[in-house]
Amino acid sequence: MIPGQLINTTFKTNFKRRRSFSCLHCLNSGPLKINPMLVAYLSFDGTTEQAFEFYKAAFGGEFVNVQRFGDTPQGAQMPDGDKKKIMHIALKTADGSLLMGNDHLDFMGEKFVLGNNISMSFHPKTKEQADNAFNSLANGGQVIMPMAVAPWGDYFGMLVDKYGIKWMVNQTKE
């Protein structure tokens, strides 16, 4: 079962909020003016870097964002084995598609199991679209993190819909 509450420490809470980093900023020199889009967000059990190198070879493109857990201000407090793991990665493929992901750590709220490692990330143009989508998806589901301004400045929330699909809604700060 996916937990319905945030873990109550600063690093863990900030990580949950940051895990869908607004890579829309990574694609150009500033925020993108885009149509709403859906992005697959993949989590791996310590093999994100290898998996994304594989996807890069298959789809072409370039990494537009790579962050490691050890690079965070709290990274020094982490076990050495976790410091090199990927906190967030974004691959912009040769055709302009975007694929995002991270390495799963157990403090994220659930054990890693194949099948629970995929989320959908919705990127609407407006706060109103974000709220409408979030509230509709949350109907009968479970809110993990309510919509709010995230540390990176975007309007962000996470939930699991009534069908068990994980969603992240991220409206890029204009």
In a domain, 2, yes or no: no
| pTM of the shown model | 0.68
DSSP state of 59: H
The CA distance from 62 to 122, in Å, is 22
Work out how many domains the chain is built from and give that number. Answer: 1
Domain range for residue 110? 10-28+35-171
In a domain, 149, yes or no: yes
In a domain, 68, yes or no: yes
CATH number at residue 155: 3.10.180.10
In a domain, 163, yes or no: yes
Q: What is the pLDDT of residue 140?
A: 95
Cα–Cα separations (whole angstroms), residue 3 to 20, 36, 142, 159, 166: 18, 28, 9, 10, 12
Q: What is the pLDDT of residue 146?
A: 97
In a domain, 5, yes or no: no
In a domain, 4, yes or no: no
In a domain, 135, yes or no: yes
In a domain, 3, yes or no: no
Q: In what order do the strands lie in the sheet with 62-68?
A: 62-68, 86-92, 98-103, 37-44, 118-123, 166-171, 155-160, 142-149
Beta-strand relationship, 166-171 and 118-123: parallel
SS3 category, 58: helix
Please, what are the averages of pLDDT over each run of 10 residues along the chain (174 residues)? Answer: 28 38 40 64 93 94 93 87 92 90 82 83 92 95 94 89 90 84
pLDDT digits (tens, 9 = 90+) for 46-77: 999 999 999 999 999 999 999 999 988 888 89
